[in-house]
Chain A
């Protein structure tokens, strides 16, 4: 475990030395902030309209701001997270530092865990900063915190899944651009499975395909529904991706 910590600390250090994190972080926070601003202003306009018509307005910030915001953040993560994960293995292979890791007394499990955890910690940090949005809104209005907390849990799980796909893609190649595109493609595929599932409707095949996509599981959490099935989905998808990463990294030694 101390070796995993060592690796996580080193990875975080590498992240913060490179400009990529600052650029990606700034863009992520800017877009999320902008989205929040748009939804809030839009909701405000609606409230004024209702006031004019009915004389009073019951505005539900949970529905009008946060659910929209949580849905939109998915898109931002889809684009942003592959950029964060692309370097994890690809760069090590390109710069030949991979040999150092592989010939040090540290297990492959520990390497994969360290790589994933470093980028996950980074992501949680970025996510934490977006917490300023509900905190600021709480100063001026009343809303239900429960779905916001489950929404954040959903975002953390969704992020973990996206990152694990990115880690896998990075293990497949030594070219960072290729790694980013592969993870982007895989995530988009998982996304579109939801569309295929809903086309097939309430058939067994449709249900299976819908289950495989992260969309409905995430939506449940955003709506404040905590269902074990959704948690099991995220946990098993994460473990599968990290297991595949382990296999891919291991197999590169045999070639």
Chain B
């Protein structure tokens, strides 16, 4: 549905994106993941025909973004970073305006408007001026705008920014429900979002694609060892040494909060049973024993960090930090 071949965009001397190539199949949801300034917005602007690439070729539904931009624009719903809303219009007036711009009229337009107002929960604010709405509502109006002509391709630049956790879940559900019938590209720097709604992730950094795969496969590919989080209430002084003696344990880190340990073992070998037996036999007060799969966050950090910043210990530390995060923060996903 979307095919991007070797596109490069330069602003004077600065190269915003460098030979980016990827494609999105019909009905697929693709996450564009990257730190700020990585080139996500630039790529999206090229796909929506807002700006032409310096080099390369992008096609949407078989139409060239440069040569057949009208055909492309008709098939795309685009939510830019800042929702493009007119503050002096009411939600209804705005949606009617956008619908007409996209060629809807009469009963079709009315149906489309009520469908989107319903779908995005805008019923209570439909007669209010957009300028008086909160950030979250404006974001939803922006989404309604992108969906109003029911385009086969949706390009959403950070669609959940400015929403509260409940709304974030709703929007993610909405995006998931669009999968199958619509091709969606969404950019985000929130990692659980990518794992939650996307079938495929493209990680972009410094204008280049550094990885592209499913969220699961990405983390497996970059994992060198299994990591296990262990929490003991009464660890003896020589606990690290004794844990190391267990068959298969590569390393033990105790640099987290007191009683928390991070164990590394050979890939594919589950040592949890042995560890549990050891802890229970010695009455160490075992309260947690958990396999940590490498989160997308770790993958992301690993791929987007510069080589020189990588030190041997930082990997494990990041793993431990994310393990702690998962326990305490309850990131919505």
The reply to whether A103 and B73 contact each other, CB–CB distance below 8 Å, is yes
Cβ contact within 8 Å between B78 and A106:
no
**Contact at A6–B49, with CB atoms within 8 Å?**
no
Which partner residue on chain A sits nearest B78 by CB separation?
Answer: A103
Q: Say yes or no: is B70 at the interface (Cβ < 8 Å to chain A).
A: yes
Cβ of B98 within 8 Å of any chain A Cβ, yes or no, is yes
- Bound Cα distance from A99 to B81, whole angstroms: 10
Shortest B11–chain A CB gap in Å is 7
- Stretch with Cβ within 8 A of A (4 or more), from B87-95, B217-225, B230-238: B87-95
Are B80 and A99 in contact, with the CB atoms below 8 A?
Answer: yes
Please give, as numbers and ranges, the residues of chain B lying within 8 Å of A106 by CB-CB distance. Answer: 101
Known A-B contacts A13-B93, A254-B51; A105 and B84 likewise in contact (beta carbons under 8 Å): no
Asked whether A247 is an interface residue with its Cβ less than 8 Å from the other chain, the reply is no
Residues of chain B in range 138-160 having any CB-CB distance to chain A below 8 Å: 145
Binary contact track A94-109/B, C-beta < 8 Å → 1, others 0: 0111111111111100
**Please, which residues of chain B bring their CB within 8 A of the CB of A7?**
101
Contact between chains at B102 and A104 (CB < 8 Å)? yes
**Considering only CB atoms, which chain B residue lies closest to A104 in the complex?**
B101
In the assembled complex, the CB of B32 is this many whole angstroms from the nearest CB of chain A, namely: 17
CB pair B52 A254 closer than 8 Å: yes
* CB <8 Å contact, A103 and B49: yes
Q: Are A97 and B85 closer than 8 Å at their CB atoms?
A: yes
B86 at the interface (CB under 8 A from A): yes
User: Could you tell me if A105 and B102 are in contact, using CB atoms closer than 8 angstroms?
Assistant: yes
Interface size on A, residues (CB 8 A): 26
Convert B83-123 into 0s and 1s, putting 1 for each residue whose CB lies closer than 8 angstroms to a CB of A. 01111110001000110111101000000000000000000
Number of B interface residues in the complex (CB < 8 A): 30
Question: Residues of B at under 8 Å CB distance from A?
Answer: 11, 45, 48-52, 70, 73-74, 76, 78, 80-82, 84-89, 93, 97-98, 100-103, 105, 145
State how many angstroms separate the Cβ of A2 from the closest Cβ of chain B.
7
* Contacting pair B73 A104 (CB below 8 A): yes
Taking CB as reference atom, which chain A residue is nearest B129?
A: A17
Are A13 and B70 also in contact (CB < 8 A) when A100-B98, A103-B48, A254-B51 are? no
Are B88 and A96 touching (Cβ within 8 A)?
no
Question: With A and B bound together, what is the CA distance between A17 and B88 in angstroms?
Answer: 7
- Using a CB-CB cutoff of 8 Å, which residues 83-134 of chain A contact chain B? 95-107
Is A228 an interface residue when CB atoms closer than 8 A count as contact? no
Q: Is A229 an interface residue (CB 8 A)?
A: no
Q: In the complex, which residues of chain B have a beta carbon less than 8 angstroms from the beta carbon of A3?
A: 100-101, 103
Contact partner of B50 (CB less than 8 A), chosen from A9, A13, A14, A99, is: A99
**B84 adjacent to A96 (CB under 8 Å):** yes
CB-based nearest B residue for A6: B100
Q: Once the chains bind, are A96 and B51 in contact (CB under 8 Å)?
A: no
Task: Give Cα A98–Cα B51 distance, bound, in whole angstroms.
Answer: 12
A154 to B98, CA, bound (A): 36
**Please, how many angstroms separate the alpha-carbon atoms of A189 and B45 in the complex?**
38
